[in-house]
Amino acid sequence: MAPATLRKAELHASVGDPVLDTMNFLNEITHRYPRAVSFAPGRPYDGFFDVEDIFRHVRRYLDHLAERGATPAEIRDTLFQYGPTGGQIRELIAASLREDEDTDVRPGAVVVTVGCQEAIFLTLRALLAGPQDALLVSSPCYVGITGAARLLGVEPTAVPEGRDGFRCADLEAALAAEKARGRRPRAFYVVPDHSNPSGATMSTAERHALLDLADREDFLVLEDSPYRLVSPGRRLPTLKSLDRDRRVVHLGSYSKTLFPGARVGFAVADQIVVAEDGRQGLLADELVKIKSMVTVNTSPLSQAAVAGMLLAADGRASEWNTETAAYYGEAMRATLKRLDECFPQPGREALGVRWNEPAGGFFLTLDVPFPADNAALARSAEDHGVIWTPMSYFYPQGGGEHSIRLSVSYLTQADITEGIARLARFITAEAARSR
Ligand code: PMP
C-alpha cells in the first residue's frame, strides 16, 4: 500500500508561511558553515550554565516546600504528578514581580506557561474572537508574535517603528485606520526594552502616552520584555508597573534571565472578565482554561528548578543577572566600538552604512546599501565566514530589505572582533557588487 500522502496546500495556511520557515533557513546556513562567526542566534551565552546547578535549584525548592510544611508525599506529587494548570509557582513569581518590577499582582493573576511563547499564544487566542478583532504590532517585531497570530488565522497589523523605536502618534494613526475599516483594535504588542529585533527602547514619556492611548481607545497592551533584566544600567519602569487601569497584559520569560531549556514563562493577566450572568473572574482564569487544552500544565520539574533559582536570589530574577547584564553590556559595547573602527567616518556615510546604539539587550540594527536577503546571507557565509539575520524576516507586512539584525549575546569578545571585521569586508564587497 502507498504511504499516506498529504497535499501541503490542503493543510492549514500557516505551515506554508515563510515566517514559520525563517529559523530553518538560518539553522541550515549555520550548519553548512560551522566555522562562520554567527551574529544570528538570540541565545544566552553558554558560559553561564553549569549542569550541577540544576540539581541544587530543584533541591532548594523542595527544601522550601518542606519548610513550609509539605509532607514527603506532597513533595513527591509536586514533582511526579500533573500539577495545577495555572502553575505551581505563581506565588513566587508574583513575589518576584514585587521585588524586581514594582508590580503588585495577586498570584491568581499569574499563569505559568511553557515559555513566553505559550503566554503569547494563550493571550492571542483569548482576545481575538473574530475577524473584526485587530492585533497591532510594533514593527519590526519578534517572529513569535507573527507566527502565533498566523497559527490562529490572524494577520497582524504592522505599526512602523521610527529610528528611535515606538511612536505613539503612529499607533494612533494605525488605530484610526483599523476603525475606518470597521475593525476593533483589541491589542497592541510591543517589546518596550531593547527590542528583538531592532534593539530600540521606548522612552518613559512614550510609555505614559501609550497607556493613556490604550485607555482612551479601549485596547490592551501586550508587553513582552525578556531583555530588560539582562541589560546593564538603569531600567525604565515596565508598562505593567505604570498601569493603573489594568490595560497591560505582561508576558514574562525566564529564558534570558534564568535558563531557556526550562521553558518557563508566565502571563500576568489581571483584567476583569464579566460573564453574561454577571459573574466576574480574571483574564488569567480564561487563559488557564485555554492552557488546559494546549499544554495541560507547565513541567513541574522545570517550575521547581526556576523556583529554586528565584529562592536563591531572595525572589529576585534581577539578582541572578548582575553578572550576565554586565557581560552582555560589554558584548554590545565591543560590537559598537568594533563597528566604529571598521567603518570610520566620513567613509561610513558615503558607503551608506549606519546602525543604532542600544544600551543593552541582545540586538542591534545595521542598515546596508544593498538588499540584505537570503542570497546575500549565503554569500556572506560562503565568501566571508560571517552570518547575520535579514531584518526583513521581522516585518509582517514588508520592509527592512536593507537592514540586518546583529545579535551579540552568544559570542565571545574575540569572536566579535573577528566577526565584525569579516562583516565589514562582506559589506564593502557587496556594496561594490551592487554598484
Ligand atoms: N519574546 C521575545 C521578544 C523573544 O525574543 C523571545 C525569545 N527569543 C520570546 C518572546 C520567547 O521566549 P520564551 O523562550 O520564554 O518562549
User: What ranges do the domains of the chain cover?
Assistant: 11-46+321-434, 53-318
Q: Which residue has the cell 556572506?
A: 380
- In the block, cell 571585521 appears at 421
Return the higher-pLDDT residue of 142 and 26: 142
State pLDDT tens for residues 284-333.
Answer: 999 999 999 999 999 999 999 999 999 999 989 999 999 999 999 999 99
Closest CA to 331 of 50, 49, 44: 44
Assess contact for 384 and 376: CB atoms under 8 A.
no
pLDDT of residue 166: 93
Give residue 96's pLDDT: 97
Give the tens place of pLDDT for each residue, 420-435.
999 999 999 999 988 7
196 pocket-lining for ligand 1 (C-beta < 6 Å): yes
- Phi, psi values for residue 172, rounded to 5°: -60, -45
Helix (H) or strand (E) holding 406: strand 403-407
Q: Is the pLDDT of residue 140 over 90?
A: yes
For the stretch 230-277, pLDDT in tens is 999 999 999 999 999 999 999 999 999 999 999 999 999 999 999 999
Residue 18 pLDDT exceeds 80: yes
CA 62/CA 376 separation, integer angstroms: 52
Confidence at 24, pLDDT banded by 50, 70, 90: confident
Q: Phi and psi of 352, rounded to 5°?
A: 85, 35
CA dist list (Å): 236 to 97, 105, 193, 241, 328: 15, 19, 8, 10, 18
Which among 39, 5, 7, 37 is positioned nearest to 389, based on CA atoms? 39
Measured in Å, residue 192 CA sits from the centre of ligand 1 at 13
C-alpha cell read off for 178: 483599523
Q: How far is CA 28 from CA 15, 36, 128, 142, 363, in A?
A: 18, 13, 34, 20, 21
pLDDT tens-place string over residues 290-299: 999 999 999 9
Question: Any residues with CB less than 8 A from the CB of 50 and at least 6 apart, and which?
Answer: none
Whether ligand 1 lies within 6 angstroms of the CB of 138 is answered as: no
Interaxial angle between packed helices 115-127 and 143-151, expressed in degrees from 0 to 180 and rounded to the nearest 10: 50
Task: Name the class of domain 11-46+321-434.
Answer: alpha beta
**Pocket lining: 265 vs ligand 1, CB cutoff 6 Å:** yes
**CA terminus-to-terminus distance, the chain:** 57
Hey, which bits of 201-264 come out as E strands? 220-224, 248-253
Nearest to 157 by CA among 185, 195, 180: 185
Mean pLDDT throughout 199-222? 97
Q: Is 266 in the pocket of ligand 1 (CB under 6 A)?
A: no
Greatest extent of the chain over all pairs of C-alpha atoms, in Å: 73
Whole-number Cα distances in Å, 426 to 29, 34, 376, 432:
16, 18, 9, 10
- For residue 388 the three cell numbers come to 547575520
Whole-angstrom Cα distance, residue 30 to residue 240? 37
Q: Which residue is listed with cell 505551581?
A: 88
- Cα distance between residue 102 and residue 357, in whole Å: 28
How much distance in Å is there from the Cα of 43 to the middle of ligand 1?
Answer: 10
**Band of the pLDDT at 194, cuts 50, 70, 90?**
very high
115 Cβ closer than 6 Å to some ligand 1 atom: yes
From CA 84, how far away is CA 284, in angstroms rounded?
A: 13
Class of domain 53-318: alpha beta
Q: What share of the chain has pLDDT > 90, as a percent?
A: 92
* Model pLDDT, residue 132: 97
Average the pLDDT over 104-119 and give the result.
98
Measured CA to CA in angstroms, residue 289 lies from 40, 111, 120, 275, 297 at distances of: 36, 11, 15, 15, 11
pLDDT at 21 over 90: no
- Report whether residue 286 contacts ligand 1, using a CB cutoff of 6 Å: no
The contacts of residue 353 (CB under 8 Å, 6+ apart) are: 343, 366, 367, 368, 369, 427
Distance 423 CA to ligand 1 centre (A): 26
Q: Where are the alpha helices (DSSP H) in 184-238?
A: 204-217
Give the C-alpha separation, 81 to 262, whole Å.
17
Please report the atom of ligand 1 found closest to the CA of residue 264.
15
Are the C-beta atoms of 333 and 357 separated by less than 8 Å?
Answer: no
What phi and psi, each to the nearest 5 degrees, are found at residue 275? -85, 170
> 172: CA distance to ligand 1 center in Å?
26
Q: Mutation test of ligand 1: which of 22, 23, 43, 117 has the most ligand atoms closer than 8 Å to its C-beta? A: 117
pLDDT of 23 above 80: no
How many CB atoms lie under 10 A from the CB of residue 11?
A: 10
pLDDT digits over 148-169, tens only?
999 999 999 999 998 888 999 9
Measured distance CA(353)–CA(366) in Å, rounded: 7
φ, ψ of residue 384 to 5 degrees: the values are -125, -5
